[in-house]
Chain A
Amino acid sequence: MSDSHAHAHPPYQRHHFETYEQQKEATTFAMWLFLLTEIMFFGGLFTAYLIYRNWYYPAFVAASHQLDIILGGINTLLLITSSFTMAMGVWCAETRKKSGLVLSLVLTLILGIGFLGIKTVEYKEKFEKHHVPGHTFSVQSFIDPAHDEATLKAVKQGEPMPDPMPLDMARKTEMYFSLYFAMTGMHALHMVIGIGILGFLIVRAQQGAYTTGHVTMIENFGLYWHFVDIVWIFLFPLLYLISRH
């Protein structure tokens, strides 16, 4: 060790950093860069969505009406709340409140699992109605809206009865559902990974690993969790909302 190491290191400082400040800046910077790669990753999907929505507008509007806006809304609320509990977790780590940190992380975990649960219900409905792309896909709901449950429900709430779609445009709804499953599926995959990491963090937080002044791990995971939220904040209006007037 050279003389620049006159003061003692905190135990969580890695040996190749000169100061803890440097370590903190480096790891946080790395996390932001990683989120940048995530933006590029989802960017490809959003590009595809924008192009095809422009090409097959009527099909996208009709298919969008098949989504349950209530379930989507609840899920949005769950995620925003989970971002709040995550932010509380970061604050607890910074102010060295161990039980508060563990509680926040557990709440975040529960809300995340709740989101995935509701998503599963939504996916199940798509399976039952043959709205999953592939050889079982059916355009029945769009060429015969008078016998479609979701459409009838909307009509009861005061929306006008849509005209049956011509078959060639109705078939383009498969593109909408392709993108729906690819985008929400990739988002859900990120949630699953996040929940896995949360489980690990809860165990370590219980042992007191993050309430000693070493907050970067919690902070960086918080960044990831908020990012996954923000992706949903874009997905929800694009897939559920903007086609309804």
Chain B
Amino acid sequence: MSTDTIVKLPDQATARMPKVSYLNKEHGILSWLLTGDHKRIAMLYLISLTFFFFIGGAMAGLIRLELLTPQSDLMAMDTYNKVFTMHGVIMIFFFLVPSVPATLGNFLIPMMIGAKDLALPKINLLSWYLYMAGGALALYAMITGGVDTGWTFTTPLSTHYVNTNVITTGLAAFIAGFSSIFTGLNFIVTIHRMRAPGMTWFRLPLYVWSHYAASVLMVLGTPVVAIAIVLVALERTIGIGVFDPTKGGDPLLFQHLFWFYSHPAVYIMILPGMGVVSEVVSTFSRKRVFGYTAVAFSSVAIAIFGFFVWAHHMYIMGLSNYSALLFSLLTMLVAVPSAIKIFNWAFTLYKGSITFETPMLYAFGFMGLFTIGGLTGVFLGVSGTDIHLTETYFIVAHFHFVMVGGMLMAFLAGIHFWWPKMTGRMYPEKISQLAAVTTFIGFNFTFFPQFMLGMLGMPRRYASYPAEFQILNVFSTAGASVLGVGYLLPVLYLVWSLKYGAIAGNNPWQATGLEWQTQSPPLTENFEKLPIVDHDAYDYEWLERQNQIQASEVSSVR
């Protein structure tokens, strides 16, 4: 059986760069800024996302430097408040939410289902412009005085007690929200209506399933936070009282509306990453993903359960005991589909022909760190332990394990995995393996000490802390500098590879997805002719037969 042997990767020396591709079909800056091509829009997103990631990362660097010493000495305390707020706002609304969907999702979903483009190319371009407008506004708010409410805009702090750029930043998040609604809407319509003949729902790659689930969350959740932001803005300007206790309003209602989006938002951030890991794990173990249907439905289950757990962010905010009990139970339910995924990836690895290319290293990083992040999430979901741990560094460590250890690892896994497809060139393997390992080590040094700090009771969001916490904070800051190097390396060698990387060829990983059966980089129309799908996802025997047919064609031509 083909699954028992290590597939021989094709010889890159014989690969040739295609003459025409989406990259050189049209020239000039306008052909990029007015494009409807999902692949070009994905590249626009990739560049702008990277820019915002490094701004958010610089903020994180400042936070870690400040926390090197127990006193507030690098910056004033209210500056520190602004720095961690902008770190959160930029990383969540301008990096994590759009990261995988807007770049890799945009690029790959039409290719994976055998379509020429997303269903609504103009809406797709509009979503990028909205993203840029929101991003520009957030940067403007940051430069003209910043905002210090935390990324959660909690009322009545945000409506009554601070005098910073709340409305501008809120508007930036609002606009970015519409960008995300349009991306999600486009994906749902595309997956429903644009599949190639024979591409049934249960032949879709799991990557597409996970994006479908994330898109449902984007479409249903984002409008709710939008109206919450509008009401905060109206309260600050006109003085309506929906969240104002002095007028009979309830600040808790803001929390409900905000977390109704912002909890599902963490699944918007993590689900596409899970999709990447499914593809990568299957490809580098040369095995069909174990329990395809279970993994597909676990994405949908996460999307559904994700909407019924939001109040676990509010246990200490005056929620009734009965609500806390109910939401504790519901929260533990979400752990089930997440665990299904982890176990199924583990079973996929079992007796697979595993190789350790960079995407696989990142995917292993994801599985380990996400498991830790997910399990500590259960501690926080149980209202009893949450009351002790919430608002401490434990929660900071938890969500960074999920978001940075999980999502960012998955993002980098995906970028490396599909880089040959996107650019037609290979990244340099050795140095990128080094970067993956550096990231993993740096990450653990940065965030593991924060679990301990949180257990010891160090609160989040303070510029100063008691001296006994210093040693662990020094560890964390040292780890953050290693992590910074880990993130800088890929930028350098990926840019280098654009010109000097080895030519990739159509299918350098011998993966089964439709996107690998066409040239790299692809044509503007993706495929030379409409693909007709007659096999399941991850069918490596089908791939082997295809390769044999191609080999015999080549030899008969000779």
A residues bordering B, Cβ < 8 Å?
Answer: 2-4, 14-18, 22, 25-27, 29-30, 33-34, 36-38, 40-45, 47-48, 51-52, 55-56, 132-135, 171-172, 174-175, 178-179, 181-182, 186
A135 vs B241: C-alpha distance in the bound complex, in angstroms?
Answer: 11
Contact status B185-A22, CB under 8 Å: no
Q: Does B558 contact A (CB under 8 A)?
A: no
Give the chain B neighbours of A18 by CB distance below 8 A.
530
Contacts A16-B116, A56-B248, A178-B240 given; indicate if A29 touches B189 (C-beta within 8 A): yes
A16 vs B228: C-alpha distance in the bound complex, in angstroms?
Answer: 37
Q: Does B220 contact A (CB under 8 A)?
A: yes
Return B38 CB to nearest CB of chain A, in Å: 9
Contact status B227-A45, CB under 8 Å: yes
Contact status B530-A4, CB under 8 Å: yes
Contact status B192-A29, CB under 8 Å: yes
A121 vs B528: C-alpha distance in the bound complex, in angstroms?
Answer: 61
Contact status A30-B185, CB under 8 Å: yes
Contacts A26-B194, A30-B189, A33-B219 given; indicate if A40 touches B224 (C-beta within 8 A): yes
Give the chain B neighbours of A29 by CB distance below 8 A.
189, 192-193
Binding site secondary structure of chain A: helix
Contact status B253-A51, CB under 8 Å: yes
Give the chain B neighbours of A55 by CB distance below 8 A.
248
Number of interface residues of B (CB under 8 A): 43
B residues bordering A, Cβ < 8 Å?
Answer: 115-117, 119-121, 123, 181, 185-186, 188-190, 192-194, 219-224, 226-228, 230-231, 234, 238-242, 247-250, 253, 257, 525, 528-530
A37 vs B180: C-alpha distance in the bound complex, in angstroms?
Answer: 12
Binding site secondary structure of chain B: helix
Contacts A16-B117, A26-B119, A40-B224 given; indicate if A133 touches B189 (C-beta within 8 A): no
Contact status B220-A15, CB under 8 Å: no
A14 vs B121: C-alpha distance in the bound complex, in angstroms?
Answer: 10
Give the chain A neighbours of B247 by CB distance below 8 A.
133, 171-172, 174-175, 178
List 25 A-B pairs, Cβ < 8 Å. Answer: A3-B529, A25-B193, A29-B193, A30-B185, A30-B189, A33-B185, A33-B188, A33-B219, A36-B220, A37-B181, A37-B220, A38-B223, A40-B224, A41-B227, A44-B224, A47-B253, A48-B242, A52-B248, A56-B248, A132-B238, A133-B238, A174-B241, A174-B248, A175-B247, A182-B230
Contacts A4-B530, A134-B238, A174-B241 given; indicate if A182 touches B231 (C-beta within 8 A): yes
| Other-chain residue from A3, A42, A175, A181 in contact with B248 (beta carbon distance below 8 A) | A175
Output the nearest chain B residue to A5 by Cβ-Cβ distance: B530
Return B490 CB to nearest CB of chain A, in Å: 32
Central interface residue in A26, A40, A45, A134, by most chain B CB within 10 Å:
A40
